[in-house]
Structure 1
Amino acid sequence: MSSSVPKHPKQSRFSLSEVLEEMDRSESDGENDQLSGLESADSVSEAAFEDGLDPLQDFEDTEENPPPSTSESFDVSQQKRRRSIPTPLPYTTSSKPARPVESRRASTPTPTTSDPEERWKFVTEDDVEPVQHRFCPARAPGAQLDTSKKYSPLDLFQLYFSMNVVQSLCTNTNKNGEKQQAQGKKYQWDPVSIKWFLGILIFMGLLTTHTVRDYWSPRRPYGIPFCHTVMSRKRYEAIAWTLHISDPEEDNENDQKKGTPQHDRLFRLRPLLDSLLLSCKTYYHPRQNLSIDERMVASKARIGFKQYMKAKPTKWGFKLFVLADAHNGYTCDFNIYTGKSKSVSGKGLSYDSVMNLIKVSYLGTGYHLYVDNFYTSTTLFQDLYKLKFGACGTIRENRQGFPRTKENAIPKKADRGTIRWIRSDKLLYTKWMDTREVTMCSSIHKVYTGDKVQRRVRNEDGSWRTRNIPVPTPVKAYNQHMGGVDLSDALIKYYNMAQKTKKWYKNIFYNFIDIAVVNSFMLHKELAQAQTTKALSHKTFREELCKQLVDIGLVEQEASASTDKLCVPVAITKGKELDPSMKASFGRRHCALCNEGKLRNKTPWKCEACDVPLCVIVDRNCFKKWHMRKEKKT
């Protein structure tokens, strides 16, 4: 059945059959584009993620839909413009007249209340405080250590970098060193002691130079003796180049699984990552207020899950979702973002990022969680409430579930301190006018309890004065408890030990050391408070830890040397089969003691225990002088 359509004087009209055919073609094209985007959504999701958006939670603001048309025909170009995301519509091919087709948006939110007269309420209207869950932590909040004992900075650091972890690092680094040497690398490789290396890294965070080589430079204004007394520059560089966390042979097996679900993108970090996460949870239990936020680990290494965040101070690097105690910034748990993947829950990355960090078996119930507008959503807060977790955070007005009503909303030129609110079941949505409008969502607070904040406002004559303005309870609590991750980041960046490297996993490894040091410092402060003693400052704590790591490395080396070898002169070529004519000259090295006096004397002798080349001749016994000086130092 076809119907004739009267012509419009200004724009052309189509018959109903032409309209349906055109819509069917456009819808099929749009649907194909949408499906292909979901199958390989890296470009769409990553672009949204860089802007702090969640594709499954956020949508574009568009005007309200116009009332349904009563005509059997309409302008196809206008219909296309109204749909921000194509969605298939039910069509009829029967001879009956077709229904009027309304403009649709795929992401149009459902109203949060069933009351059609719902509106934004004034602050003077009564609000009901939501029922609070009882705070029942799984363990007593605070350090999970014996408060009657004394713990040195090294003891606390070894809770996160245990002997097993250090031994694994040494073993895998030595394997990687032997592998690289077999591949033709020219630097000399000897078995590594990782504790010296860690001590120097922490020292480099305390004292920053332009290049690593400046730490060993003897010329003014450098001349820094500390690193030179621990190990040579070449030795440090050899360890830094060869450092490896996982087993190189197992790395090759994992690399062969690329493109399959069994491939682990974080395999090169896995041994240390799992151990560090377990230690962070084991030795401390957080207090009631928690915060979740992002942390950027600076890097420009070539790897697929490196992120570019244009709004962050650190724009290039790896993104970590971090759960921290709002009281002191202790890092309780974290996840490393490895790029686009299908949402486990189907509710978006922001939802999954929070739920992956909230483990009731580890934390308990009754906690209050504070997040920013990337994470906050109606669905998340409702599900957290079911887990007996309260939540509060800033929220985007275009996020699904946010009240869509404009009735009695804050006008654009409202006075500072103006408050509007809507309560939908357990959730409170609040708008507050500061220098600009602030929008909050909370399942913990009432809208207003009489709190005020001071703001500077301009008088009519241009002068400034301080004025007390009302502030909603969720805003005040958010400002007080949201800074847990930021505090942890600040403590890390004060003495950041990150070094330039082309290997992505080394960037994250250096950040792991920072996390371990900062968490150790937090435990030190908790223990000092429990024992009513004065805690060390952050800088002093790092200085003591640096010295203790280096000293224990020296003790271990001396103990190993005393049990295995004696300090006796032996030929450098000992154990090597050489032509008799070459024994007097082959393998000669510069004497360590002569080299300090800027003499370039070579010797075929070395100390068997110290592995140091030293002269042993009639008129110059550097071997004896070296060991006499060593005994005086000890």
Structure 2
Amino acid sequence: MPQPASTKEKPKLVATPYSPIQTRVKSVSALDLPWTKVDSKPDKWLDITNEDEEPLLPDFSPKRPPGSQLTTDATYTPLQLFQLFFTNSTVKTIVRNTNSNAEKRVKAGKKFVWVPLTVAEFYSYVALVLYMGLVKAKSVADYWARKRMYNFSYPQSIMSRARFQAISWNLHLCDPQEDEENNKKKGTTGYDRLFKIKPLYTDVLSACRKHFHPNREILVDERMVATKARIGFKRYMDDKPTKWGYKLFVLADSSCGYTWNFFVYEGKTSTSSGKGAGYDSVMRLMDHKVLGKGYRLYMDNFYTSPTLFLDLLQNGILACGTLRHASSLPKANDLSGRSELGSIRWCRQGPLLFVKWMEAREVLMCSSIHKAFTGDTVSRNAKGSDGVWRTRLIPVPTTVKDYSKYMGGVDLSDSLTEHYNILQKTTKWYKTFFFHFLDIAVVNSLILHQELAKAQNKVPLYHKLFRETLVSELAHPSTSATPVSTRSSPPASPAQTERCYPEYFGSDATHGRRVCVMCKIQGNKVKTPIYCSHCKVALCFVSSRNCFKKWHMDYHLEDLE
């Protein structure tokens, strides 16, 4: 049997049976792997008639037990799981900054009525945002429309449309004053482009890493958050369903799709290694000191490179991924366009295995995990020598088989997010990220719920019912898990305080007429002599058109510029 041409003799390794957790030989450090010290450069490709040696792999030794880090015998409601990511301190920070932003806008001359936002009312706002992901309408206003074809009674029972819109307009994640100081640093190294989202960004990311530890198979991929805003770090990706948007690099668990680590891509930075964005992204996501060793990382050709795989191996992390090209690979005995379906070629360079497989087109893989061929087959529909299409089994490399099996984690996470997407139209980029962080929190909460149910031999809530339950708990504080002391009652409307009375601008109805705010909202400029003594806005108060009543029933907080 022909052997790979090499000037150095490879160490002989003995293959032993292994379980999915315990691999090959115990107590083997990645730095002690003999192949990491071999610089072999084969001069030709080998085929499946050439036996590959079984790679010697480090033990899988995670820093924490894989899976949920919660108490397995405890019962958690959907709201309690959600509050692991949107903690009480996180919510209080958003509420405080939103109120500060509203006060700032009022001082700047924006004419609208603002009642301070509370923690309880913010939860109600989030409940409506999630509800809008479950029940789709063309616009936000349709949820409060009085037309018979809409008539959504649920949003009206939570808060008025005007209040919902007012919270959306003034929503702010960072301190407005600190934000102004940061904006003064534009063009300098001290400027932080992500300052507006930093408080929520860091809190959600920390919670994702804290409450779950990945299983052995993990993956890295990009995620696009759709936007039409004009901002410097918006990106275009042709191979994604969402072409234009903000790019996030994500490290996820392959088995369940849990988002364990992520970061927002800002473009090239001064800290770039010069080895490519793919290399830098993986090394930033792979915190091996927190994860442990023996993890198997899967990725596509944007990230895969021999340099990356060797550097990962030095930290005890194994990797497998598709490869665009490798100029250092041999040319002899290579695949051609006429190669038979299922043809396999392979070669080794040190600890790295390179495999070519002919399917509809040539597939090139690189791996520090696998043996070249273990006898696996896959069913394909192919034309025979007689010109008839038949289903037959063809050989498939283990690298391709495992890549197909484990590379769906981010797609699973994306599908869970997109199915009930809560992203709303906004020109403010930081609000787009607020909605996406909400999505991450909900999906990760669902996965934790499923993991706990599995550990307790219970049937978990399916996705839709989980969201419905979460919405109900967020909207009704009395049924939620949050301590009552941390929730204050929603502010009473002006009509309930009995401080709003109709008054004349002048001494009678013939003096001091102003444009009615309700009529102005509807596109009409109707002047009225009457205004609200508390709200300080002009409102019609006649038998045919009672804008005074309508304003206070809807508690309208439109911007009046």
Q: Secondary structure at the match of 1:465?
A: strand
1:498 to 423, 445, 450: 423
1:291 aligned residue:
219
**Which 4+ runs in 1 deviate beyond 6 A?**
112-117, 553-559, 562-565, 578-582, 610-613
2:45 aligned residue:
120
Amino acid at match of 2:103: E
1:447 to 350, 372, 376: 372
Name the CA shift for 1:344/1:243 in 2 (closer, same or farther; >3 Å). same
Q: Secondary structure at the match of 2:476?
A: helix
1:167 to 81, 92, 111: 92
Q: Secondary structure at the match of 2:532?
A: coil
Taking every aligned residue pair, what percent have the same amino acid on both sides? Answer: 46
> Looking at both structures, which has the greater relative contact order when contacts are Cα pairs under 8 Å and sequence separation is at least 6?
2
2:532 aligned residue:
587
Asked if the contact 1:432–1:438 (Cα under 8 Å) also holds between the matched residues in 2, the reply is: yes
Q: Distance in 2 between matches of 1:140 and 1:206?
A: 34
2:440 to 508, 511, 515: 515
Shift of 1:261: 1.6
2:287 aligned residue:
359
Deviations 1:386-423 (A, max 9, x none): 0001000001114xxx5332101012201111000011
Deviations 1:417-453 (A, max 9, x none): 1000011110000000011100000000000111100
Q: Is 1:251 equivalent to 2:196 in the alignment? A: no
Q: Distance in 2 between matches of 1:571 and 1:188?
A: 14
2:341 aligned residue:
416
Greater mean alpha carbon deviation, residues 493-502 or residues 225-234: 225-234
Deviations 1:488-546 (A, max 9, x none): 01100000000010001111111100000000000000110111111000010000001
Q: Is 1:212 equivalent to 2:140 in the alignment? A: yes
1:35 aligned residue:
none
Q: Distance in 2 between matches of 1:327 and 1:154?
A: 24
1:146 to 37, 47, 71: 71
Name the CA shift for 1:232/1:569 in 2 (closer, same or farther; >3 Å). closer
1:187 to 92, 112, 121: 112
1:378 aligned residue:
306
Q: Secondary structure at the match of 2:221?
A: strand
TM-score normalised by the chain length of structure 1: 0.72
Q: Secondary structure at the match of 2:353?
A: strand
Q: Secondary structure at the match of 1:121?
A: coil
Equivalent pairs counted in the alignment come to 487
Q: Secondary structure at the match of 1:453?
A: strand
1:8 aligned residue:
none
Name the CA shift for 1:299/1:568 in 2 (closer, same or farther; >3 Å). closer
What residue ranges of structure 1 are gaps of 5+ in the alignment? 1-111, 614-634
1:537 aligned residue:
462
Q: Distance in 2 between matches of 1:563 and 1:247?
A: 23
Asked if the contact 2:62–2:294 (Cα under 8 Å) also holds between the matched residues in 1, the reply is: yes
Q: Distance in 2 between matches of 1:612 and 1:240?
A: 15
1:472 aligned residue:
397
Shift of 1:302: 1.5
Shift of 1:132: 0.7
> What is the CA RMSD across the aligned residues, in angstroms?
3.3
Greater mean alpha carbon deviation, residues 463-472 or residues 540-549: 463-472
Shift of 1:573: 6.2
Q: Secondary structure at the match of 2:70?
A: coil
Deviations 1:245-302 (A, max 9, x none): 0000000111111122211111000000110011001111110000000000001111
Asked if the contact 2:334–2:345 (Cα under 8 Å) also holds between the matched residues in 1, the reply is: yes
Name the CA shift for 1:113/1:395 in 2 (closer, same or farther; >3 Å). farther
Q: Is 1:277 equivalent to 2:205 in the alignment? A: yes
TM-score normalised by the chain length of structure 2: 0.81
Shift of 1:310: 2.3
2:257 aligned residue:
329
Name the CA shift for 1:612/1:359 in 2 (closer, same or farther; >3 Å). closer
Name the CA shift for 1:242/1:557 in 2 (closer, same or farther; >3 Å). farther
1:261 to 153, 166, 189: 189
Q: Secondary structure at the match of 1:388?
A: coil
2:512 aligned residue:
none
Shift of 1:236: 0.9
Q: Distance in 1 between matches of 2:446 and 2:268?
A: 35
2:382 aligned residue:
457
Asked if the contact 1:292–1:323 (Cα under 8 Å) also holds between the matched residues in 2, the reply is: yes
What residue ranges of structure 2 are gaps of 5+ in the alignment? 1-36, 510-528, 536-540, 557-561
Q: Secondary structure at the match of 1:291?
A: strand
